[in-house]
Amino acid sequence: MAVKIRLARRGRKRMAIYDVVVADARAPRDGRFIEKIGTYNPNTDPAAININNERALKWLLNGAQPTDTVKAMLSYRGVLLKKHLQIGVLKGAITQEQADEKFEAWKASKEEAITGKVDKLTKAKADARQAALDAETAKNQARLDAIKAREDEAKAAADAEAAAKEAEAAPKAEASPEAETPTEGDAPEASAEGEENKA
């Protein structure tokens, strides 16, 4: 019986998550399996890979064949490296202590790389959020400046109109007192005419 380590789909539409299973190669994708050894969630960034490394290594050493996707995941988790080192131990090329030391060194460097990626993604997300906030603030300020400019223009136009009305009203006010009150030169003539009429 050919045994494969592969993915079995579950989850809702467009938000699929997968189980990493050991199954007969003839079984349907989401059908019967021998053992579930982990899960894979590609919807997160970075993707969440949870695999029981010891069980995966046992099945690999027993001859189970991983699919391409599962092979990449096992490589990411270091299971294939551990298998390679374990085969070296079985052949007598290296000791178990040396193999464990090499694997721990690789694991430390891998965890550092993953942490760096997570930090980079977090920083990029924060920078994008800050840039969006700055752009929104600048847009709001531009809108406020435009409103203030329109208000200033309206106020200047109203002031100019009021000044024009005052300028028109001032000559009329000056002209009306002159028409009503007689001048000094006219008053003696009127009195002289009155005296002549009496005589």
**How far are the Cα atoms of 19, 68, 122, 144 from residue 136, in angstroms, in the given order?**
43, 45, 21, 12
- pLDDT value of residue 11: 87
Q: Is the pLDDT of residue 192 over 80?
A: no
Of 95, 96, 65, 97, the C-alpha closest to 80 is 65
**Architecture in CATH for domain 3-79:** 2-Layer Sandwich (3.30)
Choice between 181 and 63, residue whose per-residue pLDDT is larger: 63
pTM of the model: 0.57
Contact at 8 Å (CB) between 37 and 43? no
Contact at 8 Å (CB) between 108 and 116? no
DSSP string, 156-190: HHHHHHHHHHHHHHHHHHHHHHHHHSPPTTHHHHH
69-98: per-residue pLDDT in tens? 999 999 988 889 988 888 888 888 888 888
Helices vs. strands in the chain: H and E counts, helices first:
5, 5
25-75: per-residue pLDDT in tens? 899 888 899 999 999 999 987 788 999 999 999 999 999 999 999 999 999
115-149: per-residue pLDDT in tens? 888 888 888 888 999 999 999 999 999 999 999 99
Which residues on neighbouring strands pair with residue 38, listed in sequence order?
20, 51
- pLDDT value of residue 50: 92
- pLDDT value of residue 9: 92
